[in-house]
Chain A
């Protein structure tokens, strides 16, 4: 529960700063150098089947045999339901929407969160707001860690082969969120 509170406070802080942070759009397609971003994705601790960095930001977990954590697998599923009709398969982008797998690495977690919740517009390029869509909001961390894993080249394109089991904590939060 502590974690939820601290995330919410940090989110509020990020929202307050949002206008300046949102004006830049061009870096969405900037390539990612996984080497340089390793630290930002490194696992500091885990809790109930979820993994976090030392900054308390959700991240992915990849075992040596290719097994992904449940959140990354779940993110793959939800991404290919809610997001891929614009951002293309595997976060690879389309003729009009950016390679969002790179955005998940280049953007701060809270900025990423804010754009999904509130949307944004740059001319005729429009990201919708998903703040009132439980199919996205209840799985936003899942989608984020999946895309981060994609952007970092930690998981290949396509459906992850092996996955960790869904933890009771994740199941409880999902049921509570989806209602």
Chain B
């Protein structure tokens, strides 16, 4: 009898555990002492209720402790803190450290996967990784070689491991994963290698694949219901993932899914965006190329799509749509709305109704943006929801082997993956941006599996006729579609922002500064130069009653490629060559976590 009752309660516990994987993580997220998920919360707000560090005392911030990761490549993402443990990840080889905060960060366990180095060169743009996820007593790591591994959070022991993609075909990973309910949601990289993007759900307990939704292809591949899945309020119809492609191009169509994922538990929908269609030469892929460049809302249980919104049909500039979808509840025209706000690479800040997929706002969040005059918002227009392309800046209309000049933004976008933050106190979004333009010349390329499949040459340079810098850190009103304030930066801002209840907003710079600004005014309150340039995301946590702010330094990523030697504007003539700041004059390599606190 005794044995039976023990068994029964174990079963009950296990069942509860499975059903509450989402709730378990939600409870961890609800306690602001933790930083339990890369994105701050399921809504991707990157807002902390902690307020011991506030706008009045942040000027006194000091370095509390530091930790070298032992890796020199670009460090994106951030550590997690769950209870007394901190989990720190690195770029390739994707080492994970579990640090015991009760013992001054002593290494409790370390996990270093063995990965084939052949994966390194098929990662476009450095071997970054945007961090681990936690749920249900496990740490989830999605390695560069697309192995998804679940580690026991106490011991680091591998509980399960699954292969999500094939690096020999250029399929790699840089993103974190999203634990939702009893599943982990996983994306894929490789848009520059002709990879057909997909999102996959694995069972959180076993690692077994539950569903996979491709970005393009037949209806059964992209998990749509032609009658009920909508695009701007209309059913997508049959074959929507193939009928805007010519021939079999969709099979190497791109639309990879390397960005961030958010989740609305009430609507029970997961949100993410898809990347550029392959190749970068638009002439080789006539049509709208659905569903690349698309915001997607899917049911996490079976992957079925509820709605899509394609932001940049038939991309001509590499404006991937993967940036984060930030979920908020705000008043709009006197009505309480459940909103989704997204700052796209294409330079437009979108506000949508996240339940219906209705487009509410689409405005430029960098005044330099010139490839479009804006999005047609007239529901009765045949152009409804489409960006109106300026012919001069259309690499499609100018044609193959023609160099289109002065396009803003550049391919890296007015904003790349570096996530924005939202403060419900100010109702403002704090957005790290790039202020860079480009020349773009597409030409014919052929496809070889596992080889780059790009098909365009581009030159990038700071936005002309502006402040000369390559970045801005802005505050954005998503209801009005307006910039509230804008802080010029010498380099692109490639760090994820953090907003706190202390009315402080933090971000990092490529020179290596951690900066704190007033959430209302943007006034600079504090800065500290860390050992290397920052492309990581700022996080905060509380331990033993004390608030800490943590940031990974370690220059690299796209920024470390494009800006290392400085940019030149080919249109400025010979005299200006070398006229722009080189990142290599300001910082050098080095992966390090720096943790800040107020003095005792």
Contact = CB atoms under 8 A, between A and B. Distances in A.
B459 A94 contact: no
A81 B126 contact: no
Interface string A137-159: 00000000000000000001111
Nearest to B574: A156
A86 B574 contact: no
B459 A80 contact: yes
Interface stretch (A11-19, A48-56, A57-65, A126-134): A126-134
Contacts of B460: 89
Interface in A76-132: 76-82, 84-86, 88-90, 92-97, 99, 119, 121, 124-128, 130, 132
Contacts of B457: 76-81
Nearest to A92: B565
A135 interface: yes
Given A81-B457, A90-B568, A95 B560 contact: yes
A166 to B, nearest CB: 10
Contacts of A90: 565, 568
A157 to B, nearest CB: 5
B73 A96 contact: yes
A127 B577 CA distance: 29
A135 B478 CA distance: 43
Given A89-B567, A94-B564, A95-B126, A81 B448 contact: no
B121 A96 contact: no
Given A89-B460, A95-B556, A157 B454 contact: no
B121 A128 contact: yes
B126 A135 contact: no
Given A89-B565, A96-B560, A158 B459 contact: yes
B125 interface: yes
Contacts of A173: none
A130 B192 CA distance: 15
B451 A133 contact: yes
B556 A124 contact: no
A40 interface: no
Given A89-B460, A128-B122, A132-B451, A158 B564 contact: no
B115 to A, nearest CB: 10
A124 B121 CA distance: 10
Contacts, number: 118
A135 B125 contact: no
Output the residue of A89, A93, A99 with the most chain B CB within 10 A: A89
Given A92-B565, A95-B74, A81 B446 contact: no
Given A124-B92, A124-B120, A126-B121, A94 B577 contact: no
B515 to A, nearest CB: 22
B564 A95 contact: yes
B448 A159 contact: no
A158 B570 contact: yes
Output the residue of B120, B453, B577 with the most chain A CB within 10 A: B120
A82 B454 contact: yes
Contact of B561 (A78, A95, A125): A95
Contact of B441 (A77, A95, A158): A77
B333 interface: no
B455 interface: yes
A44 interface: no
Contacts of B204: none
Nearest to B558: A85
Given A157-B577, A157-B578, A95 B459 contact: no
Contacts of A99: 565
Contacts of B577: 156-158
Nearest to B561: A94
B564 A85 contact: no
Contacts of A81: 280, 443, 445, 452, 454-457
Given A77-B441, A80-B459, A85 B121 contact: no
Nearest to B456: A81
Given A95-B589, A124-B117, A82 B74 contact: no
B259 interface: no
Contact of A84 (B561, B569, B570): B561
Contact of A86 (B93, B121, B458): B121
A77 to B, nearest CB: 4
Contacts of B192: 85
Contacts of A119: 121
A63 to B, nearest CB: 15
A85 B280 CA distance: 14
A78 B457 CA distance: 7
A153 to B, nearest CB: 11
Contacts of B93: 124
Interface of B: 72-74, 92-93, 117-118, 120-122, 124-127, 192, 280, 403, 439, 441, 443-446, 448, 451-460, 555-556, 560-562, 564-570, 574, 577-578, 589
Given A82-B454, A89-B568, A132-B451, 7 more contacts: A77-B441, A81-B280, A93-B565, A94-B565, A95-B74, A95-B556, A157-B568
27 contacts: A77-B443, A77-B457, A80-B457, A80-B459, A81-B280, A81-B452, A85-B124, A85-B192, A86-B561, A88-B565, A89-B565, A89-B567, A93-B564, A94-B560, A94-B564, A95-B556, A95-B560, A96-B72, A96-B560, A121-B117, A124-B92, A125-B120, A126-B118, A135-B453, A158-B577, A159-B459, A159-B570
Interface of A: 76-82, 84-86, 88-90, 92-97, 99, 119, 121, 124-128, 130, 132-136, 156-159, 178-179
Pairs A-B, 4 closest by C-beta atoms: A95-B560, A128-B121, A92-B565, A158-B570
